[in-house]
């Protein structure tokens, strides 16, 4: 159960970061309200949907967070050098 909770928490962060890139006009309050809702939807999907769905969501979240932490950091360093 703890493992699933960690997966879900990681996925929530990745999904919210992705959505923030699309919906830039939404306020911090909106994201705070969406966070538990997304967590509950993901928990339900983890319990009810096939395993491959949860793996796909986790892979998407990891790719989003990886993009922001690795690619964006490299891009910023390269821009700072020029």
Report the pLDDT value the prediction gives residue 79, as an integer from 0 to 100: 82
6-29 pLDDT tens trace: 899 999 999 999 999 899 999 999
Contact present, 13 and 61 (Cβ < 8 Å): yes
18-65 pLDDT tens trace: 999 899 999 999 999 999 999 999 999 888 999 899 899 999 999 998
Domain of residue 25 covers: 2-81
Best CA proximity match to 72, nearest among 17, 24, 19: 17
| Res 81 pLDDT > 80 | no
Q: Dig out the tokens for 65 from the structure.
A: 């967070």
Structurally, the chain folds into a number of domains equal to 1
| Res 73 pLDDT > 90 | no
């Amino acid at each position: 159960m703890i493992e699933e909770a960690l997966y879900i928490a990681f996925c929530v962060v990745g999904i919210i970061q992705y959505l923030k890139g699309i919906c830039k006009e939404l306020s911090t309050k909106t994201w705070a309200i969406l966070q538990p809702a997304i967590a509950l939807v993901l928990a339900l999907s983890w319990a009810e949907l096939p395993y491959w769905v949860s793996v796909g969501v986790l892979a998407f979240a990891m790719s989003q967070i990886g993009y922001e932490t690795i690619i964006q950091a490299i891009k910023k360093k390269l821009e700072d050098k020029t």
